[in-house]
Chains A and B, each alone.
Chain A
């Protein structure tokens, strides 16, 4: 008999996320992967500033909370201090792709042997729905009330594409959690990103397209449709870089 149970690597603390937000799903995937790989006891997670700031309460492994955008630098310190630990960051789009761009790019360039879970929901959630570096052209937010005008606010940052051009990055994949099939794919990618670290393969990042019904101003169900119709065409899913797969096919 299969019992749908909570992964051990998730604590009993009730999640604070809004209804329909997919952070909960992504947390669960990370925790399931920790369970399956048996690494909870030697993992150290880095929580960002943003909606997932309190991720330190939800993951059962040792946790630290980093300043806005600095999670990859903090993870670098931890991993360098003890390479035997499995170190991951869990970051949103404002944290990773705006204020923390330098830390993201340079930790990838150094091929830091860490795992980055990057949750892209095209908006600043915690502060109440402002334009993010990943907000789509024309998308209405609190700070782009007439829609993102690229002539003024510039273009969204495509993190997976960007990092795939960084020599040090080992594995970059973009996934989504909009349906069961994609959730399964997302889990596979996250597992690979952790396995890579265990195998010493270097910087691995999984970009997860996620929803924010509250700040998008739609129902949870509509949010999934919005993600499919707007985000997925702009941010195509797929493996952007996998140096080991490339080596294998050579």
Chain B
């Protein structure tokens, strides 16, 4: 195993992307993700074929990503919440043209300009497709600096495998904190890309990368086909971590940094004799529905712990078909719930009995 090094989450994303073969990065400064750009600015010029470009806007950056993605090369951009809103049109185009690319969102509090402290309030934006039209991104939610690296690496493979944009949904804490990381990333998967714009070389028909389709019957067909692909992804790629769920009566749902806080609370609850457990979605889309459906038959109730006004809670309710009560334990606007707050919610839920 490779030696562990201390890295900031944002830097781990950048290094893992380079290891995944990404040689093209386009970005625009915004707190709290700027270290990704800074790291790329330092590294890319030293790597053969490496391109770092600070664009004039998030809009330009995502469209540069769109251009590179169309040539079949691995490419990424990163930003934070307001910047992702600006990129959303471009993300819709990338999805509509079935192109692989990675978008990183190191979330901060909103709406509007909001703040710069960590948040998870872009959950809907990420899992429902932030731009216009019917589409999804594969959304990965790291909960450690190690996962900032490993899920970034995985995101590139998934993007190529399914020909679609993927997203790392992190937050300011994950981006700024340092933890030991092993940069043992595994295999870069390679896929044939006959659709890529590489020049016809006068040997083939021209390739066209395009999302315009003025005949509704055709556009409908494309959408149906794309959703067939999404179905396969929902079947095969949903990931979660289950913590102390074997005999759990109270199940917490939390991702990212909120899951770390929740873990502490679960351990504390166990010390007090309450059978608490945690399901941590690693993929937010596809949502790990099966794990929650299974838990719904066993636990007394669910608590969705979120750094938002309650967004993932809707997916928890859908996945459990509302068989058991689901309550919200949250902070918003850049605040992080404390283990004590989560513990209180667990104690409260445990009093609820078998309603």
Contact = CB atoms under 8 A, between A and B. Distances in A.
Direct interface between A and B, CB < 8 A: yes
Interface of A: 11, 40-44, 46-47, 53-54, 56-57, 59-67, 70, 73-82, 85, 102-103, 105-106
B80 to A, nearest CB: 20
A70 B60 contact: yes
B64 A76 contact: yes
A63 B208 contact: yes
B203 A78 contact: no
B228 interface: no
Most chain A Cβ neighbours within 10 Å, of B60, B90, B210:
B60
Contacts of A56: 208, 210
A73 B60 contact: yes
Contacts of B209: 63-65
20 contacts: A41-B201, A56-B210, A61-B200, A62-B198, A64-B197, A65-B209, A66-B63, A73-B60, A73-B63, A73-B67, A74-B63, A74-B67, A77-B63, A77-B69, A78-B67, A79-B67, A80-B64, A103-B59, A106-B55, A106-B56
B67 A76 contact: yes
B275 interface: no
Contacts of A11: 206
Nearest to A62: B197
A47 B65 CA distance: 16
B70 interface: yes
B237 interface: no
Contacts of B53: 76, 80
A60 B56 contact: no
Contact of B73 (A73, A81, A103): A81
Contact of B51 (A73, A80, A102): A80
Contact of A60 (B57, B198, B200): B200
Given A76-B53, A78-B197, A81-B73, 14 more contacts: A41-B201, A62-B200, A63-B210, A64-B67, A66-B93, A67-B63, A70-B63, A70-B66, A70-B90, A73-B55, A74-B66, A77-B26, A77-B63, A105-B56
Contacts of B201: 41-42
Interface in B51-105: 51, 53, 55-57, 59-61, 63-71, 73, 75, 89-90, 93, 97
B51 A81 contact: yes
B71 A78 contact: yes
Contacts of B108: none
Interface string B204-218: 001111111000000
A40 to B, nearest CB: 7
Contacts of A81: 24, 51, 67-68, 71, 73, 75
B206 A103 contact: no
B206 A60 contact: yes
Contacts of B93: 66-67
B2 interface: no
Nearest to B203: A41
Interface string B28-65: 00000000000000000000000101011101110111
Contacts of B65: 77
Interface in B1-47: 24, 26
Given A53-B212, A64-B210, A78-B67, A85 B56 contact: no
B202 interface: yes
B211 A65 contact: yes
A213 B200 CA distance: 35
List the 5 closest A-B pairs by CB distance, nearest first: A77-B67, A73-B63, A77-B64, A106-B56, A70-B63
Contacts of B352: none
A41 B211 CA distance: 23
Contact of A70 (B24, B51, B59): B59
A57 B212 CA distance: 11
Interface in B131-170: none
Contacts of A75: 67
A58 to B, nearest CB: 10
B214 to A, nearest CB: 9
A11 B202 CA distance: 13
Contacts of A106: 55-56, 60
B300 to A, nearest CB: 49
